[in-house]
């Protein structure tokens, strides 16, 4: 790998993070099902569904939950293409690869013998692999739909209303804000380095360059934290954090949370 492709791949990672954030902002502003609900109902409802998927032990019930997640995504105007690209293919590629050997390694009743590989797929192996892939797909779909349909600030307020300490919520909010600033700073440093790189850097030089960039970023982060601290002090910060949670539940929210609870409860009960 030459210096160019190594820097390029890091910068592509930065661009993907920005694209994801932008996609979330756009999807969250759509007029869909989830977007119309109170953020607390969205967070709690989807969280209940994810937990029910994790607790469920039957393939067909998990498949039904996946279908429900897809219906929620469609009604919330989440693009199926982006969901497939962002979740389904990624999970299939990663978890599918991890689950594949389980077909052969899991001891149990033989189902199918692969003649050229001298290996036997067991019933238990097939179920284990299918359960893992399906469960991860369903949970990731639900989580992604929630993330896409909810502004970050609303997720934080919902977490706060679930009694997460105010300090933690504030730190999550600040971190999220400065992630994009630091990504932009790191991106500019890499761009600057790339524009001054002629020829091929050897591995040692590439590592030194990465570490130096990280070191500069650390120094800038500490300086930034000091500036933020002074700004907070100037606004009267004295160590106590207060956050407004001005959400109001409507009739539709009560109906939605009931549906989420019933669906999750049934999945756990039937799929036990």
Interface of this chain with other proteins, residues 65 to 94, rule: CB under 8 A: 86-87, 91
> Which tokens in the block code for residue 32?
């869909």
Question: Interface with other proteins by CB under 8 A: which range of 28-36, 69-77, 214-222, 247-255?
Answer: 214-222
Distance of CA 10 to the CA centre of its chain: 19
The token pair at 199 is: 């020829």
Q: Smallest distance from the beta carbon of 190 to other proteins, in angstroms?
A: 9
DSSP code at position 117: G
Residue 219 or 265 with smaller CB distance to other proteins? 219
Work out how close the CB of 228 gets to other proteins at its nearest, in angstroms, rounded to a whole number: 4
Q: Which of 44, 72, 155, 267 binds other proteins (CB under 8 A)?
A: 155
Q: Which two tokens stand for residue 18?
A: 């920005």
Could you say which of 34, 121, 139, 149 contacts other proteins (CB under 8 A)?
Answer: 139
Applying CB under 8 A, the span of 30-38, 191-199, 226-234, 249-257 interacting with other proteins comes to 226-234
Encoded tokens for 76: 């919330």
Residues 1-30 that bind other proteins (CB under 8 A): 1, 6, 9-10, 13-14, 17, 20-21, 24
110-114 and 119-122 as β-strands: parallel, antiparallel, unpaired? antiparallel
The SS3 assignment for 196 reads: coil
Cα(80)–Cα(113) distance, rounded to whole angstroms?
A: 36
CA 92 to chain centre: 16
Residues 30-69 touching other proteins, rule: CB under 8 A, are: 47, 50-51, 53-55, 57
């Amino acid at each position: 790998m030459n210096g160019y492709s190594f820097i390029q791949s890091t910068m592509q990672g930065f661009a993907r993070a920005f694209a994801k954030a932008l996609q979330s902002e756009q999807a969250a502003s759509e007029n869909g099902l989830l977007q119309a609900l109170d953020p607390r109902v969205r967070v709690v409802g989807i969280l209940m569904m994810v937990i029910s998927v994790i607790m469920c032990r039957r393939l067909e019930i998990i498949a039904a939950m996946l279908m429900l997640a897809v219906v929620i995504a469609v009604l919330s105007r989440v693009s199926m293409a982006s969901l497939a690209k962002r979740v389904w293919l990624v999970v299939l590629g990663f978890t599918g690869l991890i689950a594949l050997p389980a077909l052969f390694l899991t001891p149990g009743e033989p189902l199918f013998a692969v003649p050229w590989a001298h290996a036997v797929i067991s019933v238990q192996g097939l179920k284990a692999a299918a359960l893992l892939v399906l469960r991860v797909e369903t949970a990731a779909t639900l989580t992604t739909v929630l993330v896409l349909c909810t502004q970050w600030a609303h997720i934080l307020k919902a977490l706060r209303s679930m009694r997460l300490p105010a300090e933690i919520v504030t730190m999550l909010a600040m971190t999220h804000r400065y992630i994009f600033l630091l990504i932009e700073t790191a991106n500019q440093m890499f761009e600057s380095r790339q524009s001054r790189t002629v020829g091929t850097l050897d591995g040692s030089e590439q590592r030194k360059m990465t570490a130096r960039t990280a070191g500069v970023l650390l120094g800038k982060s500490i300086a930034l934290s000091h500036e933020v601290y002074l700004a907070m002090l100037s606004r009267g910060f004295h160590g106590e954090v207060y956050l407004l949670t001005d959400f109001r539940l409507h009739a539709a929210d009560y109906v939605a949370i009931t549906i989420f609870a019933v669906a999750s409860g049934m999945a756990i009960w039937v799929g036990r």
